[in-house]
Amino acid sequence: MKKFIAPLLIGAALSSSAFAADDSLKQEVEALKAQMAELKDAQSKINVDALRAQVSEIKAHDAGDNIKWNVDFRTAYDYVDYKIQGADKQDNGVWTNKLILGMGAQPADNLVFKGSLAAYKAFGQTNISSTSYFQTFDWYDSQKPNDSNIRLREAYFLYTGDMGDVHYSASFGRRPSVDGFLANLRNDNENPASPISHNINMEFDGASFKFDFDKVTGISGLYAKLCLGRGFSNTTGAYSMNMSSMGFNPGYVNDDQTPNMDLAGLIVQFFDNGQYKLMGNYLVAKNMMDMNVQGIAMTPVYTSSGLTYVQKPYFNFADVGDMTGGTLSLQVNGIGDGISDFLDDSIFFLSYAFSKTDPNNNQLGAISSSGLVSMAGMLGSSDKEFGSSIYTGVQVPGIMKGQRLGLEYNHGSKYWRSFTYGEDTLAGSKLAARGNAYELYYIMPVVGKNLTAQLSYVYIDYAYTGSDTFFGWTGTPMDVDSTPGAVKTAQDLRLSLRYRY
């Protein structure tokens, strides 16, 4: 009997415990429900828009208080070699350091500032500017080896907005106008600057207005950009001397020594779907200039052997006429469609450019074999002269992962004229060449993208002189095989290490 009663008692006890547990669980559930209701009630009272505005304000404040910097530093050795008509060849080895400090800030969603400072110097050299009249020209001031001074390379703002489905941007300042589309491949820059480098690669100040039409038309990547620039200003500085009155001029008046040299251009990206990219431009350049030599003077020069005198021309710049030009450029990222990994990772490009002069009748003092003469026209001609250039290349994967091999070729006709003074080649702009130019380069990552090595070789075989000078008599194309002192060929072999972060 005791054995029968005991299980009953145990069952009753367990039943009581179970009921007690159910009650406790119910109480906890009810408590959780109450807490959830309180949370929902509290959440419903939160002003989400106000919080979003606060976060945006914090982000804007943070961005406005901090300029983001990046570093691009290259140390290089260039061996340059020239074959000259009627004279011994000249060659030299040049060590250089090139530093670019990039900066950016975004105080608001629709307003961005970008800029860069640069120093590009030859090892142990601080007086290169004394060896050339034009060493510190504004068109390439940070693109040619000089001294250790920090120079303004870029400084501009971008204001963006939308007009319906058309996104637009407006920008003023010192332009991102060197190392543009296509040149970015040989320069190992993932993102090209604004212009098409085939006919424009130089520094200048100005403005741009860009409109994106891809949403309106359904054409991938379609946009148009109007660019305005001034390459030279006709003005004096502060406290300039008036030699006729032996006093000072008012500050920044017309100096009558240089023309205002202006450029207007339209850049159109016709198509870009990531694999195929087609771009074109058309430009009108006003008041192109050249040297107006007024005489030859004996100038004292101090050398290591003492004081001596050399003959130097004294001159101003004068307007010789206008120019028009244009480019159509295609880049293909990935050759074929899945034929092989090698071709998928290869890049091909082809570009055509032209230029046309429109000379005025201004007479300039020019130096000739018979002495100082008066000369009018552009590129040594009083007629409107047409020039053209083709530029093509391929970049393929290298031997090891991440390495790249590039091969480029360009040819310019007798009267071809580009604005490529800022091209990063010590032997002179290869894309300005009136003749044939070849380049072979190899890029090797050392520490990923942060430290890379590059070996490049440029060979220029000139057919005519005056490829990369001014636009009047100094740009006269003369046969290099019959012109004493003409550079027949130029070579530039460069080995460089580059740090970026």
| Sequence-ordered strand ranges (E) for 260-363 | 261-272, 276-303, 306-333, 347-359
Q: Which two tokens stand for residue 331?
A: 């880049």
**Confidence (pLDDT) at 33:** 83
| Least-confidence region, from 252-256, 299-303, 422-426, 459-463 | 299-303
CB 398 within 8 A of CB 158: no
Residue 9, pLDDT above cutoff 70: no
Q: What is the mean pLDDT of the chain?
A: 90
Residue 2, pLDDT above cutoff 70: no
Res. 395 pLDDT band, cuts 50 70 90:
very high
The percentage of the chain sitting over the pLDDT mark of 90, rounded to a whole number, equals 70
Q: What is the mean pLDDT of residues 398-424?
A: 96
Q: What is the mean pLDDT of residues 433-448?
A: 97
**Confidence (pLDDT) at 205:** 96
Res. 48 pLDDT band, cuts 50 70 90:
low
CB 429 within 8 A of CB 467: yes
Report which of residues 136 and 460 the model is more confident about: 460
**Confidence (pLDDT) at 257:** 72
Spell 381-395 as b/e; 16+ CB within 10 A means b: beeebebbbebbbbb
Residue 47, pLDDT above cutoff 70: no
Report which of residues 46 and 229 the model is more confident about: 229
Res. 4 pLDDT band, cuts 50 70 90:
very low
User: 3-class DSSP state for residue 273?
Assistant: coil
Q: State pTM to two decimals.
A: 0.84
**Rg of the chain on CA atoms, in Å:** 33
**Confidence (pLDDT) at 5:** 46
**Confidence (pLDDT) at 86:** 93
Q: What is the mean pLDDT of residues 189-202?
A: 94
Which domains does the chain show, CATH number per domain?
79-500 (2.40.160)
**Confidence (pLDDT) at 224:** 98
Q: Which amino acid is at 329?
A: S
| Least-confidence region, from 66-75, 250-259, 284-293, 464-473 | 250-259
Q: Position of tokens 């039943």?
A: 15
State how far the Cα of 482 lies from the Cα of 459, in Å rounded to an integer: 21
- What are the angstrom distances between the C-alpha of 415 and each of 192, 280, 285, 324, 456? 28, 21, 16, 13, 28
Return the closest-CA partner of residue 237 out of 222, 251, 256: 251
Give pLDDT tens digits for 105-163.
999 999 999 999 999 999 998 888 778 888 888 899 899 999 989 999 999 999 999 99
Residue 59, pLDDT above cutoff 80: no
Residue 435, pLDDT above cutoff 90: yes
